Amino acid sequence: MIALRIAAVAAGVFIVAATFASAVRTVILPRGVPARLTRIVFVALRVVFNLRARPSASYERRDRVLALYGPIGLLLLLVVWVSLLLLGYTLIYWGIIGDSFGEAFRISGSSLLTLGFLEPVHLGAVVVAFVEAAMGLVLLAMLITYLPSIYAAFQRREGLVTSLEVRAGSPPTGVRLVRFFFVMEQLDRLSDFWKRWEAWFVDIEESHTSFPTLAFFRSPQPEHSWITAAGAVLDGASLLSAAVDVPRLRGVRDPCRVPRAPEDLRFLRDPVPDRSPVSRRADLGVQGGVRRGVRPPGRRGRAHEARP
């Protein structure tokens, strides 16, 4: 019986330590360190959501269902953390006090939720109750600070995505982006545009690495997507660099070298300096091109035709 109690205390300590480490990695640690428990929760929840948002369903239905995936995942993660802490400390109380498992569960719940309607008598159990109450408050404080931070990063991400619709259409494309600046005779103002988007990509790398769950939060509008917007900006920069005969603007090449995604932080390979830019449509990754003979404002040269 003593060996069983020792094993219960050891199992409880392991559960508590693993749960608290998962919470620290997910909420506090500003680095892309994988948290296995968080991954298990979100993968299991995605299986449930896939039953409602099947590939055969319309985009509107899938978007409406998957918009709840990120918020519900965070709430479910909190429930899992609290439940595991409750289970772990229940095992610890049962191993120390030796009473029934139900009594240990009630003491654990009273301490974790700081209800105070039950308190242990054994000195060791009293110390554990203090630690459990403090851990419950720390976990709650972490979640209180986590939610405003993640929604602030979400607002920074979506602000520039929404403004891109005016210049690149909805859904945005690189061709529409370049065409807008050409028609509005604002090719000389592209440098400021690239700088804003370069800062946006840097913020995406930092925020989506510190808060990995932010990647599951979809844009407020169904037709908007931060991934599509990033692709449109990169396509526009590639198209302008490869097919439009304009002076090399400062910052035009920077968007072409940003990371493709927060989880893939390797920079794209630089083009060979001695070779002319690639101008095939297939290499640009966009549909359409710049018409033959179109002259940008202030230039006598003509745009390079995108060869098939």
Model pLDDT for residues 174-207, shown as the tens digit of each residue: 888 888 888 887 777 777 888 889 899 999 988 8
**Model pLDDT, residue 279:** 38
The kind and range of the H/E element at 205 are helix 190-210
In angstroms, the CA 62 to CA 306 distance is 36
Q: Which residues contact 235 (CB under 8 A, 6 or more apart)?
A: 173, 174, 175, 177, 284, 285, 286
In angstroms, the CA 67 to CA 63 distance is 6
Contact, 194 vs 252, CB < 8 A? yes
pLDDT in tens, 204-259: 988 888 888 888 999 888 888 898 999 999 888 888 878 776 666 554 444 445 44
pLDDT in tens, 103-145: 889 888 888 887 777 777 778 888 888 998 898 888 888 888 8
pLDDT in tens, 3-59: 888 899 899 999 999 999 988 888 888 777 778 898 999 999 999 998 888 888 888
**Model pLDDT, residue 285:** 40
In angstroms, the CA 73 to CA 50 distance is 14
What letter would DSSP give residue 122? S
Which whole number is the average pLDDT over 57-83?
Answer: 89
**Model pLDDT, residue 297:** 42
**Model pLDDT, residue 220:** 86
- Phi first, then psi: what are they for 296, rounded to 5°? -65, 155
Helix (H, G, I), strand (E, B) or coil at 170: coil
Contact, 237 vs 184, CB < 8 A? no
- 261: β partners: 264
Q: Which residues contact 51 (CB under 8 A, 6 or more apart)?
A: none
**Model pLDDT, residue 14:** 95
**Model pLDDT, residue 249:** 54
Res. 84 pLDDT band, cuts 50 70 90: very high
Amino acid at 138: V
pLDDT in tens, 146-182: 888 888 999 999 988 988 888 888 888 888 888 888 8
pTM as predicted: 0.71
Does the N-terminal peptide bond of residue 171 adopt cis geometry, omega within 30 degrees of 0?
Answer: yes
> Does 62 score more than 80 pLDDT?
yes
In angstroms, the CA 219 to CA 140 distance is 27
- The full set of domain ranges for the chain reads 2-121, 153-284
Res. 308 pLDDT band, cuts 50 70 90: very low
Nearest Cα neighbor of 188 from 129, 117, 249, 113 is 249
In angstroms, the CA 297 to CA 185 distance is 6
